Amino acid sequence: MTLRFTSRREVADDRQAVEKVLAALLPAATTDPARLHEAMHYALFAGGKRLRPLLVLAACRACDGQDRQALATAAAVEMIHTYSLVHDDLPAMDDDSLRRGQATTHVVYGEGMAILVGDALLTRAAEILCGSATTDGLDPVPPAAAALLIGAAGTTGMIGGQALDLASEGLHLPLGHLEDLHRRKTGALIHASLLAGGHCAGGSASQLDALGRCGTALGLAFQIVDDILDVTGKPGDLGKSTGKDERAGKSTFPALMGLEASRRRAVELATESRDALAALGTAADPVRDLVSRATERIS
């Protein structure tokens, strides 16, 4: 177990700050059209870990920024992440019925509405990133942070990774291809969250470089951990279905490298991720903690 610099309580407080901003930046569940807004709330407030917005906040603090500079960006990235989960869970994609411990959006609201919920969350994120949706006390998203996040969500990032994932079902991918797929599908948005947090604080080139390297290693480590948990985890603990990669005939790190080698690689990458932050000193301890928390679920 790595040393913790941030208490569980502090992480819980940050998570609560994120929830509050998400609620402020989403139309109320009762506003017209109510069923759509209700379904958006269902998808967004399902008790996710909020890793990406917490990374935005921690990276902003690591560059001596204030939370008000990063919270709108943090909310936008969580909306982008949630939209991708809602669409990824659809029958035409991964066909999943359990997510964050509850029935997936399309199971409760129907497929058509789930498609619209994803579209609407992405559109709302774009409104926040372009500065046209805001709430009291928050700074606008800096253009560089907006560009990073939207770029990471696009065809060379997250959506591109999902397209590769879709195309590779049933194929035996070489390890290099699998890493490339996951760098896009999962890694791009995690990497962009850290960098965008740094931009929110007006971080220097060397600070941004450190955050970028931390994010690249964390993104891959996170996906390896996710693959491991799909094999070893329990649905009740994870809040989502397990064993689905194997059922879908997907290539995974444990399938290609074995469980033990996958664990070792995840630990190495987590160390690399934390070590990349050396130039930021102790100000980056909350980022180091998030790296540890995100990657130690396999130990």
- Least spacing, CB of residue 83 vs its own copies, in Å: 8
Toward its own copies, which CB reaches closer, 48 or 157?
157
Distances (CA, A) of 68 to 72, 136, 254, 283: 8, 10, 40, 17
- Least spacing, CB of residue 146 vs its own copies, in Å: 5
- Least spacing, CB of residue 42 vs its own copies, in Å: 14
Name the CA dihedral angle for 189, 105, 96, 299, rounded to a multiple of 10 degrees.
Answer: 50
Toward its own copies, which CB reaches closer, 140 or 212?
140
Task: Pull the structure tokens for residue 21.
Answer: 């901003």
Toward its own copies, which CB reaches closer, 84 or 273?
84
- Least spacing, CB of residue 168 vs its own copies, in Å: 11
Toward its own copies, which CB reaches closer, 129 or 290?
129
- Least spacing, CB of residue 88 vs its own copies, in Å: 9
Q: Kindly state the DSSP code that residue 102 receives in the 8-state scheme.
A: E
Toward its own copies, which CB reaches closer, 115 or 256?
115
Closest Cα partner for 231 from 256, 204, 268? 256
Toward its own copies, which CB reaches closer, 124 or 265?
124
Task: Pull the structure tokens for residue 250.
Answer: 């997907």
Interacting residues with its own copies (CB under 8 A): 27, 32-33, 35-37, 40, 83, 87, 90, 92-93, 110-116, 118-120, 122-124, 126-127, 129-132, 143, 146-147, 150-151, 153-156, 159-160, 162-164, 166-167
Assess contact for 138 and 17: CB atoms under 8 A.
Answer: no
Find all residues with CB under 8 Å of 178, minimum gap 6, and list them.
251, 252, 253, 256
Element (H, E) at 163: helix 158-167
- Least spacing, CB of residue 27 vs its own copies, in Å: 6
| Helix/strand/coil (H/E/C) assignment for every residue in 167-198 | HCCCCCCCHHHHHHHHHHHHHHHHHHHHHHHH
